[in-house]
Amino acid sequence: MAVILCLSSLLAGCRPSGESEAPEALSPGVSAQEILLGSSLALQGHAGFLGTQTLRGALCYLNHINAQGGVHGRIVKVIAYDDSYDPPICLANTQRLIIEDQVFALFCYVGTPTTVKVLPMIEEARIPLLGMFTGANALREPFNRFLINVRASYYQETGAAVQHLVDDLGLSKIAVFYQYDAYGFDGLTGTELALKRFNLAPVAGGSYNRGTLDVEDGLNKIISSGAEAVVMIGTYDPCAKFIRLAHAKGFRPLFYLVSFVGADELARRLENQHGITVVMSQVVPPPDHRDPSPLLTGPDGYVTLLKHYFPKDQPNFVGFEGFINARVLVEGLRRAGAELTRERFIDAIESIRDMSLGPDVTIAFSASDHQGLDRVHFTQLENGQFALIRDWSEIKARLN
């Protein structure tokens, strides 16, 4: 396999091949033959789908690049450790990647509480981290040269969502259900700021603890508020349980969820739930296998490469985002040149201006802006899958 994948839970002590005979590196994790990256993300547990698909989406493109000889003659390899969406484990994994594995850069981390936990270590090691599956504001403000976000932020997602709820749907009684940690608080704050622009505030708030399905108390608080819409910042299992219980109790507001929830897994858990309105924001367009865009179905497109390298997987939003992360990574490595260092890599990323990967996917960075995408797309649950919303008046008619 062109890309090494080392799972701490399965292959303890795995090391990159050829490490001992490699010539002196230009920068940690760089030799004449390879570029070594490190990732800590959930590969099992209640967020396992998110981590697995993020990684596989990225790997299918990196495998493709490696099959063509790599970048400037170097194969791109990834060591990935499972953190099960647990911040202390993520911290230990990151320390191992930086100190023991001597990776060049960190890549495709998943989750707010896990990624925020390692920020001091990233700053101290002066190591780039690119492509985080989180829209947390703490990864954007204050500006950090070593953090390279690709996706839009939770503030952008919730801000755009609230505008649609109020302006297009005429809703004013909006509640918030959130995971009680840094991720949930970030989404809650973004929602509150967005509502404030309309002189509104949440009519109720309910929460649950990360890693549990204890949603009943939060649900009862929100039901008693008479909310017309519920903004949900969580993961797919507790959010699905919340919606199913609400449906059983006859409580049927509009349910809006941020992208991190995981559209495909949520849809699978809401099968046979009829008469509910579920809307989700996305930071990438739908990865439709029928879409003629080269980014999806071209020779090096996501759908094409996923089918080749991971034939049992179906295209999904999470994996597509990981794929785009890998496209940005490789572009930065190419622009950095053969004399690769961490600083040159960051400079190269900052030189990317209006790089169009396909319709609705244009990447742009600068020395003061390390977020490549700003676009937010909205989808609704229809016939077991999330489809792009083209007319909000149809949703308004359904609610009425």
Domain match, 293 and 214 both: no
Domain match, 356 and 317 both: yes
Give per-residue pLDDT as tens, 116-140: 999 999 999 999 999 999 999 999 9
Domain match, 107 and 95 both: yes
Domain match, 179 and 253 both: yes
Mean pLDDT of the chain: 93
Residue 313 lies in a domain: yes
pLDDT bracket for residue 288 (50, 70, 90): confident
Residue 362's DSSP bridge partners are 356
How far apart CA 263 and CA 257 sit, in angstroms, is: 9
Q: What percent of the chain lies above the pLDDT cut of 90? A: 88
pLDDT bracket for residue 80 (50, 70, 90): very high
Domain match, 129 and 161 both: no
HEC string for 33-73: CEEEEEEEECCCCCCHHHHHHHHHHHHHHHHHHHHCCCECC
Q: Structural domain of residue 346, as residue ranges?
A: 34-152+288-369
How far apart CA 136 and CA 142 sit, in angstroms, is: 12
Please give the pLDDT value at position 19.
45
Beta strands in the chain (DSSP E): 34-41, 75-82, 105-107, 129-130, 147-148, 174-179, 205-208, 229-233, 254-257, 277-282, 355-358, 361-363, 377-382, 385-388
* CATH number reported for the structural domain that contains residue 273 in this entry: 3.40.50.2300
Beta strands in 262-382 (DSSP E): 277-282, 355-358, 361-363, 377-382
Here the tokens at position 191 are 């929602």
HEC string for 166-232: HHHCCCCCEEEEEECCHHHHHHHHHHHHHHHCCCCCCCCEEEECCCCCCCHHHHHHHHHHCCCEEEE
Domain match, 383 and 360 both: no
Residue 382's DSSP bridge partners are 385
Average pLDDT over residues 216-226: 97
Residue 14 lies in a domain: no
Residue 264 lies in a domain: yes
How many domains is the chain built from? 2
Residue 238 lies in a domain: yes
Please give the pLDDT value at position 45.
92
Give per-residue pLDDT as tens, 222-274: 999 999 999 999 999 999 999 999 999 999 999 999 999 999 999 999 987 78
Domain match, 120 and 159 both: no
Does residue 366 have a pLDDT over 70? yes
Domain match, 180 and 250 both: yes
pTM, 2 dp: 0.91
Q: What percent of the chain lies above the pLDDT cut of 70? A: 94
Do the Cβ atoms of 62 and 54 come closer than 8 Å?
A: no
